[in-house]
Amino acid sequence: MLKGILAVSGKPGLYKMVANSKNALIVESLKDKKRMPAYASSKISALEDISIFTETGDMPLVEVFEKIYNYTEKGKAINHKSSPEDLKEFMANVLPEYDEYRVNVSDMKKLFQWYNILHESNILDFSKEEKTEE
């Protein structure tokens, strides 16, 4: 589900990889569908490679997104601009075992912002994934 979805440092939002060029990736914004090059000098992170610290180990981002999806009953997450206290409370409700010493408020902001971008782009559909696994 998160395959090909990227976060580019210094650029807001999330991007989908659409092509490879000689010295850059061509990415398309999930929000406005504009394309741009993402050069090797930019820090590019694939969402499928990111995980959240929990008390029992690391949890892949897709599993955290599924917990948010179920908690919100397929709705949007809390606004990433909410107060730190509200973000922490929402995180504790969604993922009670998150490591509160290693997961910062800035991490939560990114997590909820990314979730909401993916939700608006209709990329989050966990029912499809369950069917393909069976």
- The pLDDT tens digits for 71-124 are 999 999 999 999 999 999 999 999 999 999 999 999 999 999 999 999 999 988
The domain spans of the chain are 5-47, 50-133
Looking up tokens 């608006």 gives 120
Annotation: CATH topology of 50-133: Arc Repressor Mutant, subunit A (1.10.10)
CATH assignment of 5-47? Answer: 2.30.30.730
User: What are the tens digits of pLDDT across the range 44-63?
Assistant: 999 999 999 999 999 999 99
Q: Which residues of 107-134 are buried (b: 16+ CB within 10 A; e: fewer)?
A: bbbebbbbbbbbbeeebbeeeeeeeeee
Beta-bridge partner residues of 37:
26
Strand spans (E) along 1-134: 5-8, 15-20, 24-29, 35-39, 44-46, 51-54, 57-60
Q: Which of 68, 66, 12, 2 is nearest to 36 (CA)?
A: 12
| Total-model pTM | 0.88
What's the CA gap between 123 and 126, in Å, rounded?
9
